Amino acid sequence: MIIIGYVLMFAPTFRDLATTVWSRDEQGHGPIILAVVLWLAYRKHEELLALSARPALVSGSLCLLLGLCMFVLGRSQAVLLLEVGALIPISAALLLLIKGTAAVRLLWFPLFFMLFMVPLPATLVVAVTTPLKSAVSAVASSLLYQLGYPVGRSGVILTVGPYQLLVADACAGLNSMFTLEALGLLYMNIMNYKSAARNVLMAVMIIPISFAANIVRVCILVLVTYHFGDEAGQGFVHGFAGMVLFMVALTLILAFDRGLLSASRRFKGLLK
């Protein structure tokens, strides 16, 4: 009954997300994050069921009160940051009230990973995305110019031959970096690294890795547009370039991880 009530409570929220925020490129990672959270929780379900019930009534009640206040305020005022963010304290509260603190310790990563499903505040996105887009545009145009392509730049508008391309938020913004950070943290969780130093280094390096992956994506779109026309650049290839973004990022994450492995061997397992 508790699970049914939980699902019914958040069903309208997910319906609204599916028809608004998640339908746009900038926040299209939301359903993927949700699926990953469910998978991560499923991986631990046997261990969760095996835990003895030791309800933490005080901390569980406080978490539930906090989550309900966030949900009511967010739902009534259409603040998705609070409405979706309420998933975390309410989920933690149910674990505390049913199984106790051991359940939260067991499922801490799925709870933490829900953060990447919460829509970012528009003001924050704009403040961070604008300089990011400018930097990605500048590096991409400079790189292609050095390779001999007739590329010019005015702000975040790239000119290549007779075509003009606008570097959009989805191509080089905070949301793509946010998604790639989630990808990197998921990778570290699956690899089950115990070294705090290694995990911190990996988490920090994902920022320049995502920046480099965004540059590759923009370069691909510019090259496709230049060689095959504007329709090709804005059609299927545009979506495929988004896949390339994640493939490049994952490749760089794996390469950096291998570098850390070599370093850990040299320094006697410091980063294992």
Active site residues: 171, 217
CA distance 261 to 134: 34
| Residue closest to 110 by CA, chosen among 62, 155, 44 | 44
Angle between helices 30-43 and 174-191 (to 10 degrees): 10
State both tokens at 55. 């309800």
Angle between helices 122-146 and 174-191 (to 10 degrees): 90
CA distance 110 to 195: 20
State both tokens at 183. 């990808």
| HSE toward the beta carbon, residue 248, CA cutoff 13 A | 21
State both tokens at 176. 């793509």
- Asked whether the CA dihedral 169, 129, 176, 259 is positive or negative, the reply is positive
Strand partners, 159: 152, 164
| Residue closest to 91 by CA, chosen among 73, 74, 70, 121 | 70
